[in-house]
Structure 1
Amino acid sequence: MAGPPAFKMRLVHVDLKGAPPRVSYLAQVFPLFHALGANGLLLEYEDMFPYDGPLRLLRATHAYSPAEVQEILQLAAQSKLEVVPLVQTFGHMEVYYLGEGEASRRWLQQEPNNRAALCLTHMKAVAGLVLSRRPGVTPLVWDDMLRDITQEQLAASGLPQLVEPVLWDYSADLDVHSKVLLMEKFQACGFQRLWAASAFKGATGASQALPPVEYHLRNHAQWLQVAGHGPTDALQGIVLTGWQRYDHFSVLCELLPVGIPSLAACLQSLLHGGFSDDIKTKVENLLGLSSLDMADAVSKGPRSFPGGSILALVAQVSLYLRGSVDALLERNRYVTGWFSPYHRRHKLIHPAVVQYIQPEVISLLGRWSALARELKAALQCCFYPDAVEEWLEQNVAPSMQRLQALLQDLSEAAGGACWDPAQDPEAGGTWQPLPAEPPDAQDRCPRTQL
C-alpha cells in the first residue's frame, strides 16, 4: 500500500487579479478541487476584495460584495477546503525598487545597513502588525527575498520566529539538491516550518493560453523528490499556484477552467506520489476527457468538469485560429500572387481572381465568428464582462480583424459590396453596398462589379 501523501496540506491557488470567477462558478469547482485531492485554498483577493473606507478606491469594477465573500468562505468550508487569504504586501508591489526611495537611500547610507536588512526590517514590521491584530494567525511569506540573505543575518533578524517561508519554484527541471540545501539553511537559522509552491498554470508565459500539462507534472515530480530528500516533516504543505496574470499590467494567461486538467493531474500526482497510467486514466475519466493532451481538447466529448466547454473552444482558438488566417494570407497563391499588400493598398485586382479568394474569406470568417459567439456565451457564464472582453480582444480579435480587413480591401478593389461583420451571410446576415467611388479613383483600372 502507498504511504501517506508527501504533503499534508495541498492548497489550490485562486488568483483573482485577472479573470476572477463568478461565485456561481466557484461553487461548482470547489467540490471538484476536494475530489481531486485538495484540502485548502490560497485565495489571492487582490482588487476583488470589498475594501471600504479610504481603501474603497482599490475595488475592481466587479469586486465581490461582503456577502459574496462570506458565501465563498462557506462554499470552501462545505468542500472541506481551508482558506488561506493571500494579500500581497512586499511581493509584486515593492521589491523590484527596494532601496530606491529617498527615505530608504538615506537609511542605507548609515552603517551597517544594507538592502537585506531593509527587506528584513520591513517584513518583520508587517508580520508583527499581523500578529498583534490576529495572534492565532501564522503569516506565510514567499521565499525569494530570503534565499540569498546569509544564515547569520536571517537568524539575527528575529523573522524566523514570526513567519513561515514558502519555497517556490515553477520550473520543470528545478534543482532538487539546491532546494534541500535551502531547506536546511532555513531550518538552521530558525524557520522550523516550511512550505513549497509549485504551479499548475500561469508559469510558462505571460500570454500562455493552454497549460503544458507534462511540464507542470514534471514540476510536481521534482517537488516530490524534494519532499523525499529534505529534512523530515519540514514541509507543512504545498501551494499549487495558478497565476491568472503575471502582474496587474500584464495580459491574461491560462483561464481557470482551461487549467483544470493540469490541476487535476498535478493534485493526483501529489496524492499518489507519482502519475502512473492508472492515475492518468482516472483523471481523464473523472473530467470526461479522452486525453490530457491539449491538442485533443477540441474533440467532442462529455467533459464532465465545470467549464469543460471553455477548454474545448479556447483550444480551437489557440491551436487553429491564427494558423488558419496565416495560411490564407501568407500561403494562398491567389492572395500572395494577385492580391498582395501592394494590390490591397492600391485597390487593384483582376476580376476573375475575386472568385478564388472571396468565398474562402467569407467561409473562414463565418466559421470563426460563430465559434467566437459560442465562446463568448460560455465565458459569460463563468466570468465578468470585463474579463470576457479582455480575453476575446487579446486572443480572437487580432485574427478576425485581419480577415475583415482582407475582405474589406477585396470588396473595395472589386467595387461591388462590402461584408458587414455583425451580420454574417452564413448566419443570416446581409450585404451592404459600398459608398460611391471617390473622384480620384476614376483613373484606376476597371473593377469588377459583384
Structure 2
Amino acid sequence: MENNTVLPFIKCKKMFPIRCIRRRSMDFILKGVILTTICLFIVHMTSSYPRGGISQRSLDSMQNQQQTPVLVKKRENFEESIDSNVEQQSKKDNPFVAQPTVKSLQPVAKMDRPSREGEFYKNVVIHFDLKGAPPKVDYFLEMLRLIAKGGATGILLEWEDMFPWTGKLEQFKNTDAYSDADVDSILNEARNLKLDVIPLVQTFGHLEWILKYEEMRKFRENDAYPQVLCLGNEEGVEYVKEMIRQVVKKHSKYGIPFFHIGADEAFEFGVCQESLDWIKKNGKTGGKQLLALAHLKAIAEFAKQEISADTQILAWHDMLKDFDPRLIKNLELGQIVQPVVWDYSENIVTLNDYIFSTLADNFPTMWASSAYKGANYPSASTSEVRHYETNNRNWIKTKQAQERKFKNGFQGIIITGWQRYDHLAGLCETLPIGTASMILQMQIALNAPSSDMETTRRQAGKLLGCQGFNVDGVNIVSNQCNYKGFQTYVIYQSEVPNLFSRINGELGKNHHLMGWANRYNKKYNISQNWYHKEMLPFVQSLVQQYERVENDLRASMKDLFFDNTIDEFIYENLGEMSEKLHGYVDEIQRLDKLRAWPKRHFPIRKEL
C-alpha cells in the first residue's frame, strides 16, 4: 500500500518540482518568522515586567552584607550629552572613586522591638518637620507616645534651625530653638518607646534657613535665590559638614541606623563661579549633573565616616531621577544611598513605571514616602483627611506594582508631615490639625495590603479616643476625641470657619455699612454721622465674637506651642478678619468726628 504521508510530496516532485520547493520554503520561512516574533515578545515581557521575587533568606543575606564604601571627589549637570565611554570607564581608571577609611563611633543600635520582617512595610516612619510651628517638648513627647502606641517603627526628625547649634552655626539657630536638654528628652523618649530616630540634615537644596543671611550670600549658587548651596565652594560645603557633625554627635549615643541627607528640590545649581571652575577643572563629560552627584556621594560618605559603616544613608529621589543613570552607575551611588521616593498626590501622578525602572537599575532598594499633612497646597491650614487617605492607599498599589523591580525590595514608608513648603513659606497644617490624619495614615500603612477603610478608620478612632471617625472634606473627624491638641483642632477647623462665615454674612447685608462706611466714604471723608451710632455697636459686637474665639484658640495652643508660633499662626489665619473688623471700628470713629465735608466732585483717580 502506498505511503499516503509521502505521496503528495512525491507527486509534487514529479509534477511541479520548482513550484513545490518554493511553496514549501515559503511555508518554513513564515513559520520561522512567527516563532521568532513569539520569542521576542516573551523576552520583551520578561525584561519589562517587575523582576521576580527573592527569598527572605536571600534578602536578609544581602541586607547583612557590609557594602564596600566608596569616596568620591566632585564633578557636575548636563549641558551636553554624556559620551558613551562614561559608562564603560572602569572603576580602576575612575578618578572619582576611592576607598576611604570608615570609622565606627557608635553601633547602629536599631531598636529592640518585635520584627516586622515579612510585613508589607517593615518600617513605618512618621516625619516631624520642625522648620515651622515646632511643638513644645512635653507636647512632642506626647505625640511620640501616641505614634509608638499606634505601631510606628520610627521617626524622621528634620531639625533645621530648631537644633541647638553651636560654634559658627549658633548665630543661625531659631530664637525658640530647643536646648541640649530638650533634645536629650526627645531622643531618650524615642529610645524608650523603641522608635528608630532618623535625623534629616539638608545638604544640597532647601538651605534657606542659613543661606538667607547677608553673611552667607557668598555661598549661594545664585545670589537671587537663598536655596541651593554653591557646590563648588569648599568653605560653604564645610558648613554642611559641620551640621552633620553636630547632629551626629548629639544623636550618636541613641543610635543612628539611618541618616537622611535631604537633597530635594535643588532647582538651580552649577552656576556659581566656584561650581563653574570645578566643572572646567574636572572635565565637561558629566557637566552639572556630575557635580551634583559627586557632592551627594561625598556627603553620604562623610556621614558614614562620622557615624558607622552600617548606617544607611537616605536621600530624596526627585533630583536622582533626572540625572543620567550612567553617571550614577559609574559613581556607584547605589552602594551607599537609598532613595526615598515621594509622591503626595492622590493618584501618585508624578511617578511612572520608567522612573521606578531607572531607579531600580542603580539602587537595589528604596523607601516610599506619602504624607499625612502639609502636602495639599502651601497655605492649607485645615486638614483634608480624605486627600491624604487616598494618597496612602494608592501607595499600597504602587508598591505592589513596582517593588519586585528592586533587588532588595522596599525598606518601608516615611509618612511626611510638612509644616512649611520651605523655610521662607508660611505655615501649613499644624501638628494638632494633622494628628487625626497622621494616625489614620499610619494605620493604613500598618494594615497594608488590606484595603479595608472601615477597619483603619476604626483603629485610628480608637487610638485617638474618638467617638467615631468620619472622613468628609474639611469637617472634623469626630465631635469628641481624647488626645492632646484636639481642642485646638476643633476650634480652628470647626468654630473659626463657622464664625468667619457668620461675620462675613452679617457685614455683607448691613445697609448702613454698605451705604456710609464703604471704601468711597472712608477715602474721601464723606459719611452720614446719624448712622454711625447704629454701625459702631453692630461692628463692636462682631469684634467681641471674634475675640472670644481667638482667645479660646490661643488658650488651647498655649501648652502645645511657643508664643511666637501662636502669634504667627493667629496672624496668618485669623489676622485678616481681625484687621477687617478693627478697621471698621477705627474708620467709623474717625468719620464720626467730622463736622464739615468736602465739595463735590472729588478728584477720583485710578490708583496704581
TM-score (norm 1): 0.86
Question: What is the deviation of 1:281?
Answer: 3.1
Tell me, in whole angstroms, the C-alpha distance in 1 between the residues paired with 2:371 and 2:365.
21
Whether the 8 Å contact between 2:488 and 2:553 is mirrored in structure 1 is yes
Whether the 8 Å contact between 2:159 and 2:200 is mirrored in structure 1 is yes
Query: Is residue 466 of structure 2 the alignment partner of residue 270 of structure 1?
Result: no
Percent pairwise identity: 30
> Which among 158, 162, 166 is matched to residue 340 of structure 2?
166
The alignment partner of 1:224 has SS state of helix
Letter in 2 for 1:149: F
Whether the 8 Å contact between 1:15 and 1:244 is mirrored in structure 2 is yes
Query: Is residue 427 of structure 2 the alignment partner of residue 252 of structure 1?
Result: yes
Q: Give the equivalent residue in structure 1 for 2:213.
A: none
> Which among 463, 481, 490 is matched to residue 286 of structure 1?
463
Q: Give the equivalent residue in structure 2 for 1:430.
A: none
The alignment partner of 2:559 has SS state of helix
The alignment partner of 1:147 has SS state of helix
The alignment partner of 2:178 has SS state of coil
Tell me, in whole angstroms, the C-alpha distance in 2 between the residues paired with 1:150 and 1:199.
28
Letter in 2 for 1:343: N
Q: Residues 93-117 of structure 1, C-alpha deviation per residue, up to 9 Å, x if partnerless?
A: 3222311110212333442131211
Question: What is the deviation of 1:44?
Answer: 0.5
Tell me, in whole angstroms, the C-alpha distance in 2 between the residues paired with 1:298 and 1:152.
49
Question: What is the deviation of 1:64?
Answer: 1.1
Letter in 2 for 1:13: H
The alignment partner of 1:286 has SS state of helix
Q: Residues 18-60 of structure 1, C-alpha deviation per residue, up to 9 Å, x if partnerless?
A: 1111110012111111223311100011111111112211221
- With over 3 angstroms needed to count, the CA separation of the structure-2 counterparts of 1:442 and 1:352, relative to structure 1, is closer
Q: Give the equivalent residue in structure 1 for 2:113.
A: none
Q: Give the equivalent residue in structure 1 for 2:553.
A: 375
Query: Is residue 171 of structure 2 the alignment partner of residue 57 of structure 1?
Result: yes
Whether the 8 Å contact between 2:346 and 2:391 is mirrored in structure 1 is yes
Tell me, in whole angstroms, the C-alpha distance in 2 between the residues paired with 1:295 and 1:203.
15
Q: Give the equivalent residue in structure 2 for 1:112.
A: 285
> Which among 367, 390, 411 is matched to residue 195 of structure 1?
367
Q: Give the equivalent residue in structure 2 for 1:38.
A: 152
The alignment partner of 1:139 has SS state of strand
Question: What is the deviation of 1:332?
Answer: 3.2
Q: Residues 173-220 of structure 1, C-alpha deviation per residue, up to 9 Å, x if partnerless?
A: 2149x445433322322x112111111111112111012111111111
> Which among 331, 337, 341 is matched to residue 519 of structure 2?
341
**Where in structure 2 are there 5+ consecutive unaligned residues?**
1-116, 208-227, 229-265, 600-608
**Where in structure 1 are there 5+ consecutive unaligned residues?**
416-436, 446-450
Whether the 8 Å contact between 2:529 and 2:591 is mirrored in structure 1 is no
Question: What is the deviation of 1:347?
Answer: 4.3
Map 1:66-145 to 2 at 5 A: 66-93=180-207, 94=228, 95-109=266-280, 110-135=283-308, 136-145=310-319
User: Which one is further off, 359-368 or 140-149?
Assistant: 359-368
Q: Residues 346-403 of structure 1, C-alpha deviation per residue, up to 9 Å, x if partnerless?
A: 4444455346533332222101101111111222211112111111111112111110
Tell me, in whole angstroms, the C-alpha distance in 2 between the residues paired with 1:327 and 1:200.
33
- With over 3 angstroms needed to count, the CA separation of the structure-2 counterparts of 1:202 and 1:102, relative to structure 1, is same
Question: What is the deviation of 1:261?
Answer: 1.1
Q: Give the equivalent residue in structure 1 for 2:586.
A: 408
Letter in 2 for 1:192: P
Tell me, in whole angstroms, the C-alpha distance in 1 between the residues paired with 2:509 and 2:597.
31
Q: Residues 234-262 of structure 1, C-alpha deviation per residue, up to 9 Å, x if partnerless?
A: 11011111111111111111101100111
Q: Give the equivalent residue in structure 1 for 2:544.
A: 366
Q: What is the RMSD computed on CA atoms of the aligned residues? A: 2.4
Corresponding residue pairs, total: 416
Tell me, in whole angstroms, the C-alpha distance in 2 between the residues paired with 1:356 and 1:194.
66
User: Which one is further off, 103-112 or 348-357?
Assistant: 348-357
Q: Give the equivalent residue in structure 2 for 1:214.
A: 386
Question: What is the deviation of 1:282?
Answer: 3.4
Question: What is the deviation of 1:302?
Answer: 3.5
Question: What is the deviation of 1:309?
Answer: 0.7
Tell me, in whole angstroms, the C-alpha distance in 1 between the residues paired with 2:444 and 2:119.
10
The alignment partner of 1:97 has SS state of coil
Q: Tell me which structure has the larger Cα radius of gyration.
A: 2
Whether the 8 Å contact between 1:216 and 1:266 is mirrored in structure 2 is yes
Letter in 1 for 2:431: L
> Which among 309, 322, 330 is matched to residue 148 of structure 1?
322
TM-score (norm 2): 0.64
Whether the 8 Å contact between 1:321 and 1:399 is mirrored in structure 2 is no
The alignment partner of 1:281 has SS state of helix
- With over 3 angstroms needed to count, the CA separation of the structure-2 counterparts of 1:120 and 1:365, relative to structure 1, is same
Q: Give the equivalent residue in structure 2 for 1:423.
A: none
User: Which one is further off, 267-276 or 166-175?
Assistant: 267-276
Tell me, in whole angstroms, the C-alpha distance in 2 between the residues paired with 1:239 and 1:295.
24
Whether the 8 Å contact between 2:532 and 2:588 is mirrored in structure 1 is yes
Question: What is the deviation of 1:345?
Answer: 2.9
